């Protein structure tokens, strides 16, 4: 498959200087856009305030884990339907778990890790597409 998509981060300086910008194929381009969607909170983009997802807006500590995960699945699914048209039959799964880190003899920290699986079909090639990314979303110390 030809590499006809620009990679992220977009280097406009290279494009304006008529240099070749790094390119990638469809699969990598979709994965990069999904990562950008997941790491962008609403109203972060001044050109489109709806671009992003609600991961960074939810207060996960005040809700039950299942309710919070359901909200994230709904937000990610809606966002992909709107901003990643190259992907169809999208299924999103979210898992959350706590990881404990020892920082010293008497200091421990728990970080909550959010794992997101996105499966679908690339509309252009009708190939199966799988994406996984994990984020640490909360530093809880005790």
Of 49, 57, 97, 98, give the one whose Cα is nearest residue 74.
57
Q: Where are the alpha helices (DSSP H) in the chain?
A: 12-16, 26-39, 65-83
CATH of the domain at 56: 3.10.450.40
Say how many CA atoms lie within 13 Å of 22 toward its Cβ.
7
For residue range 86-138, list pLDDT tens digits in order: 999 999 999 988 878 777 777 777 788 889 999 999 999 999 999 999 988 76
What would the two tokens of residue 129 be?
Answer: 């597409």
Number of domains in the chain: 1
pLDDT value, residue 58: 64
3-class secondary structure, 111 = strand
Query: What is the per-residue pLDDT across 43-84, written as a single tens digit (0 to 9) for each?
Result: 877 888 788 888 877 655 555 678 888 988 999 999 999 999
CB 119 within 8 A of CB 90: yes
Any idea what the Cα angle at residue 22 is, between residues 16 and 24, rounded to 5°?
130
- CB–CB of 120/30 below 8 Å? no
By residue range, what is the domain housing residue 65? Answer: 5-141
Give pLDDT tens digits for 24-33: 999 999 999 9
| Spatial separation of the C-alpha atoms in residues 48 and 68, rounded to whole Å | 25
Q: Biggest alpha carbon distance in the chain?
A: 56
Say if residue 2's pLDDT is above 50: yes
In the chain, the N- to C-terminal Cα span, in Å, equals 51
């Amino acid at each position: 498959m030809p590499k006809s998509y620009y990679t992220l981060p977009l280097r406009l300086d290279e494009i304006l200087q008529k240099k070749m910008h790094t390119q990638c194929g469809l699969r990598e381009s979709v994965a990069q856009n999904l990562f950008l969607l997941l790491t962008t909170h609403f109203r972060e983009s001044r050109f489109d305030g709806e671009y992003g997802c609600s991961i960074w807006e939810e207060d996960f500590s005040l809700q039950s884990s299942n309710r919070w995960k359901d909200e994230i699945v709904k937000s990610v699914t809606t966002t992909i339907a709107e901003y990643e048209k190259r992907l169809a039959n999208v299924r999103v799964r979210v898992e959350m778990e706590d990881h404990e880190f020892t920082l010293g003899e008497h200091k421990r920290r728990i970080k909550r890790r959010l794992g997101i699986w996105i499966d679908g079909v690339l509309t252009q090639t009708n190939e199966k597409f799988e994406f996984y990314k994990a984020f640490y979303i909360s530093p809880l110390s005790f």
